A and B are shown apart, each in its own frame.
Chain A
Amino acid sequence: ETGVTQSPTHLIKTRGQQVTLRCSSQSGHNTVSWYQQALGQGPQFIFQYYREEENGRGNFPPRFSGLQFPNYSSELNVNALELDDSALYLCASSLGSATDTQYFGPGTRLTVL
């Protein structure tokens, strides 16, 4: 196991609602990256947080936002949910912002109805 945890494991929401997903990074890691994986696709980079600051963002709209806390845990917030937001949301923790060594959590499966 990687020591990266995510909550909740599953979530069902309706269109227009807002959701918050949580990630606890591996001990000693200061960086959390978030990825969205739609069914049948590879994970797509949403953004990364390094020492509580956003450090890099993929091609996702502003309704996807995040936070990182002093203990390096992180939240992903999605506002105005759309059906296409249904996916597995993965967080990955790492030591350093530009490292290729990232440890993935088990993911949160979000279904938007």
Chain B
Amino acid sequence: RKEVEQDPGPFNVPEGATVAFNCTYSNSASQSFFWYRQDCRKEPKLLMSVYSSGNEDGRFTAQLNRASQYISLLIRDSKLSDSATYLCVVHREGYSTLTFGKGTMLLVSP
């Protein structure tokens, strides 16, 4: 089983739609959680950290359920510019590596 698993994509949605991405992680020692965004042929960029209490940044809401080892990202009112691959990332305290999921591609159409 992969350490971080995400919904297979791509997700094709119209502008204005709400879309949710799901992610599960297998290592209960994971301490920090993130969503990264990666545009085609570019480097990953941090979108937002994910906290147990849930957190929101504009149209983006992230949730973490430690008991279920589950992370989610909700995007409301999708824009064309949201088209990208969204990567779920976990980090174990004291370790040097970030562990990435495979990513889920989002395509927002007019």
Contact = CB atoms under 8 A, between A and B. Distances in A.
| Chains A and B form a bound pair | yes
Nearest to B33: A100
A7 to B, nearest CB: 14
Interface string B24-38: 000000011010000
A45 B43 contact: no
Contacts of A42: 4, 87, 100-103
Interface string A85-106: 0001010100001101010111
A56 B44 contact: no
What's the dominant secondary structure at chain B's contact region?
Answer: loop
B96 A48 contact: yes
A12 B87 CA distance: 27
B96 A33 contact: yes
B102 A45 contact: no
Nearest to B34: A100
Measured as residues with beta carbon below 8 angstroms from the partner, the interface class of chain A is: 20 to 34
Nearest to A41: B102
A110 to B, nearest CB: 13
8 contacts: A40-B102, A42-B100, A45-B96, A56-B95, A90-B44, A98-B93, A106-B42, A106-B43
Interface string A35-65: 1000011111100101000011010000000
Interface of A: 31, 33, 35, 40-45, 48, 50, 55-56, 58, 88, 90, 92, 97-98, 100, 102, 104-107, 109
B47 interface: no
A97 B44 CA distance: 20
Nearest to A92: B98
Contact of B32 (A40, A50, A100, A109): A100
List 6 tightest A-B contacts by C-beta distance, closest first. A42-B100, A56-B96, A100-B91, A45-B97, A48-B96, A100-B32
